[in-house]
């Protein structure tokens, strides 16, 4: 269906209809179309087909959660391979997943898993949007070679409510994507009696060896929200434990905005030279502003010369204004303030540069006297 033929099916505010309620409604009605969510400069595009999510994207693109970043976390590619694939993508505009499969034989199943996790994490993040607008249109762009199964929105909504209720507590325990998770016991407890679900059991099985929170969230296929809540429950039950992130030698060398230690040292030396050279010029240049802070005879002479120059200039301005007033009215004003009322001069021009106002008296013979104020 062309965009010109698109019809708005429904629209409204996310304050009156939260995302959880909206997704549940679209699932029950088995809607087909493109749902657009907008909030604070962010925009989400979600394509639906018969009540299931087929495609999801967010603009601007989130800083974390990209396909390449997630494949790095699970060890599917190396940083060098990702860099080469991104350069190839910039030249050809082809999907990154296809490039990685063609150039480096990246496992299609892993790419399929990561793409699904990427979509799930975006969808769960939308449940936290408390304001904004939504519009569902009949058009559908068919984005896609999104090689994962459609996402069941009804199941997604059911999981969203407990995730949202506990997410603040989850973040206090799993405060970093790099925290280490380990088994506290070697045999999983009776998950039916203790209230654990199959997802919790699957997460426990993945922890045969220690893993980071981010790694296990991706490998589980559930994403950080669902996996984070179940891991938090396992931690509370003493089944697994969490340890602080471990810093690798590479991380110790990262000091400023991710710059390696050598680059940081060069930056520090160049900055010191620039600051030192600038300070020298500021202090000793002939026209340095600091010369006005120096106390001595030069300062007092310069001030006296400046005051005299200002006085002569203002004095001549007042005289010219008086002559213009005389030509217009046939007499001089009774007070200098009349010059300001006539728009012939500005009020500050009537003040002597150091202090006080100019002394003005109109004489009987049609003349005047203009003198600076007494010291």
The answer on 122 and 22 residing in a single domain is yes
Q: Is position 68 within any domain?
A: yes
User: Domain check: are 146 and 8 in the same one?
Assistant: yes
Residue 162 lies inside a defined structural domain of this protein: no
Q: What is the pLDDT of residue 309?
A: 75
Kindly list the distances between the CA atom of residue 178 and the CA atoms of 234, 243, 244, 279, in Å, as whole numbers in the listed order: 18, 9, 8, 43
Coil, helix or strand at residue 285: coil
Eight-state DSSP code of residue 77: S
**In the chain, what are the helix, strand and coil shares in percent, each to the nearest 5?**
50, 15, 35
Q: What is the pLDDT of residue 363?
A: 79
Looking at the fold, whether 111 and 226 belong to one and the same domain comes out as no
Eight-class DSSP state of 47: E
Tell whether 191 is covered by a domain. yes
- 35 and 145 in a single domain? The answer is yes
Residue span of the structural domain in which 137 resides:
3-152
In a domain, 117, yes or no: yes
pLDDT of 9 = 93
Looking at the structure of the chain, the number of domains it has is: 4
Q: Is residue 228 part of a domain?
A: yes
Q: What's the CA gap between 149 and 146, in Å, rounded?
A: 8
The reply to whether the predicted model has a pTM over 0.85 is no
Can you say whether the dihedral through the CA atoms of 55, 57, 62, 66 is positive or negative? positive
Long-range contacts (CB closer than 8 Å, 24 or more residues apart) made by 325-332 = 331/362, 331/366, 332/362, 332/366, 332/367, 332/368
Asked whether residue 16 falls in the same domain as residue 142, the answer is: yes
Q: Which of 85, 52, 43 has the alpha carbon at shortest distance from 67?
A: 85
| pLDDT value for 14 | 94
Q: How far apart (Å, rounded) are the C-alpha atoms in residues 122 and 55? A: 11
Does residue 123 share a domain with residue 24?
yes
pLDDT value of residue 190: 74
Query: To which residue do tokens 């080469």 refer?
Result: 84
Domain boundary among 289, 316, 346: 289
Based on the domain organization, do 26 and 121 belong to the same domain? yes
Both 327 and 306 in one domain: the answer is yes
pLDDT of 213: 94
Map tokens 């199943």 to a residue: 109
Query: Residue 148 gets which letter from DSSP?
Result: S
- Cα separation, 73 vs 210, in Å, equals 14
Residue 158 resides in a domain: no
- Beta-sheet pairing, 240-243 with 180-183: antiparallel
**Pair 124, 233 in one domain:** no
Residue 167 lies in a domain: no
Query: Are 114 and 58 members of one domain?
Result: yes
Q: What does the alpha-carbon distance between residue 120 and residue 160 come to, in Å, rounded to a whole number?
A: 11
Answer yes or no: do 265 and 219 share one domain: no
CB atoms within 10 A of CB 239: 22
Q: Are residue 272 and residue 359 in the same domain, yes or no? A: no
Which parts of the chain register pLDDT below 70? Answer: 1-4, 63-64, 142-147, 191-194, 247-267, 277-306, 353-355, 374-375
* 168 domain residue, yes or no: no
Q: What is the pLDDT of residue 210?
A: 92
């Amino acid at each position: 269906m062309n965009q010109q033929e698109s019809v708005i099916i429904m629209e409204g505010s996310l304050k009156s209809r939260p995302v959880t309620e909206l997704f549940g409604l679209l699932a029950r009605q088995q809607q087909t179309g493109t749902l657009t969510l907008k909030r604070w400069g962010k925009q989400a595009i979600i394509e639906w087909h018969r009540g299931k999510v087929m495609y999801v994207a967010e603009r601007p693109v989130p800083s974390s959660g990209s396909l390449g970043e997630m494949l790095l976390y699970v060890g599917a590619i190396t940083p060098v391979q990702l860099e080469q694939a991104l350069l190839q993508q910039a030249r050809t505009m082809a999907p990154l997943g296809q490039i990685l499969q063609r150039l480096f034989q990246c496992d299609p199943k892993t790419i399929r898993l990561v793409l699904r996790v990427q979509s799930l994490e975006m969808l769960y993040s939308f449940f936290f949007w408390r304001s904004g607008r939504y519009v569902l249109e009949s058009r559908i762009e068919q984005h896609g070679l999104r090689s994962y199964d459609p996402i069941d929105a009804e199941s997604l909504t059911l999981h969203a409510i407990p995730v949202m209720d506990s997410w603040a507590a989850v973040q206090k325990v799993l405060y970093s994507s790099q925290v280490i998770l380990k088994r506290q016991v070697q045999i999983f407890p009776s998950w039916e009696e203790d209230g654990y679900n199959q997802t919790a059991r699957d997460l426990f099985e993945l922890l045969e060896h220690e893993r980071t929170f981010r790694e296990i969230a991706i490998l589980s296929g559930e994403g950080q929200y669902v996996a984070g809540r179940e891991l938090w429950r396992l931690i509370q039950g003493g089944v697994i434990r969490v340890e602080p992130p471990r810093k690798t030698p590479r991380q110790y060398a990262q000091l400023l905005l991710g710059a390696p230690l050598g680059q940081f040292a060069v930056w520090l030396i160049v900055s010191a030279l620039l600051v030192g050279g600038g300070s020298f010029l500021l202090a000793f240049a002939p026209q340095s502003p600091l010369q006005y802070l120096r106390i001595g005879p030069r300062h007092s002479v310069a001030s006296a010369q400046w005051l005299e120059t200002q006085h002569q200039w203002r004095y001549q301005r007042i005289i010219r204004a008086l002559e213009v007033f005389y030509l217009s009215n046939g007499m001089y004003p009774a007070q200098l303030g009349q010059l300001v009322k006539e728009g012939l001069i500005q009020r500050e021009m009537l003040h002597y540069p150091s202090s006080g106002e100019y002394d003005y008296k109109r004489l009987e013979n049609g003349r005047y006297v203009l003198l600076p104020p007494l010291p």
